[in-house]
Amino acid sequence: MKDLQAMISGLRRPKLLVRAARFGVDEYNRSRHLGRILRSEALPRTGPAILRLLEIEAGLEDRRVAGAADYSVARHVEVLIALMGEARILRAMQTPAAP
């Protein structure tokens, strides 16, 4: 299985969706947003959260491509924001502290 960073980097989405998510990622607050997005009270660790967000995002992407009536651009953007935010957290955890 590819590592999480590679899975996230491999996503190819419309520029407008990605741009919208980038505007919101600086305001992402894990404790405030992640539970609502995952529809869960307990917050998973970063790795499992990313995997769950990738699953949710893939479903949203399938609906977007299919032109489904129940597709929500707002939900897609908020999931992408969370995914980018969690990826930042993961990168920070993997980066060794400066001496």
- pLDDT tens series, the chain, 99 aa: 348 666 666 677 888 888 898 899 899 999 889 989 998 888 989 889 999 999 999 999 999 999 999 999 999 999 999 999 998 888 887 766 655
Stated as kind and residue range, the H or E segment containing 83 is: helix 73-94
How far is Cα 22 from Cα 2, in angstroms, rounded to an integer? 24
**Residues 59, 65, 70, 75, Cα dihedral to 10°:** 60
Q: What is the pTM of this model?
A: 0.86
